[in-house]
Amino acid sequence: MTSVKDPVTNKPPVWKISAWRSMYPGMWSWVLQRLSALALIVLFPIHVMNPYIDSVRITMLLLVVWHAMHGIKVILTDFGFPDRHQRKLLWVLCVVGVAAFFWLAFMHKEYWRFMA
């Protein structure tokens, strides 16, 4: 293989680290939201079959909150949230998401057997 780039359209291949290093925050937000969706698709049937696997539950909680935060970002900007603040909105929602995750996890600690 002499060339890894498409000679016609000159696309950088995603398997090269340099392509990922130059990604902007909004793109990371999108990629991670997609990945969280894929992970949830895998975890959800496991959770339905056995709802008491703590590791699955806590991972799902984290993923659901993460996925929701980025969904909220898209909804807000779709309905006219000013674009010049989209990066700030992303960071704020990340902080809100982490806080929501811990709040939800600790508010219901009676459900977590590993904390009992």
Partner 1 sequence: MNEEAQITEGTPETGTQEESVPKKEEQEEKAEKRPAVRVRIRRGGAAGDPEERFDAFQVETGPRMTVLDALVAVQSAQEPTLSFRYSCRVGMCGTCALKVNGRPAWACRTRLEGLGDEITLEPLTNFPVLSDLAVDMSPFFEKMKRARGWLEPTGAAEKAPALIAPNSRERKRIEPHIECITCGICYASCSIVGHDSDYLGPAALNRAYTLVNDSRDALGPERLLEVCTEDGAWRCHSQYNCTESCPKGISPTGAIKGLKRRAVSGGVRRFAASIFRGRAPGA
Would you tell me which residues interact with partner 1 (CB under 8 A)? 1-5, 7-12, 18-19, 21-22, 24-27, 29-30, 74, 77-80, 82-84, 86-87
Place of tokens 């898209």: 74
- The tokens for 57 are 């539950």
Q: How far apart are CA 75 and CA 38, in angstroms?
A: 20
Place of tokens 């909105």: 89
Q: How far is the CB of 97 from partner 1 (least distance, A)?
A: 17
User: Which residue number, 21 or 41, has a Cβ lying nearer to partner 1?
Assistant: 21
User: Which residue number, 8 or 42, has a Cβ lying nearer to partner 1?
Assistant: 8
User: Which residue number, 24 or 52, has a Cβ lying nearer to partner 1?
Assistant: 24
Q: What are phi and psi of 6, to 5 degrees?
A: -65, 115
Q: How far is the CB of 98 from partner 1 (least distance, A)?
A: 21
Q: How far apart are CA 28 and CA 31, in angstroms?
A: 5
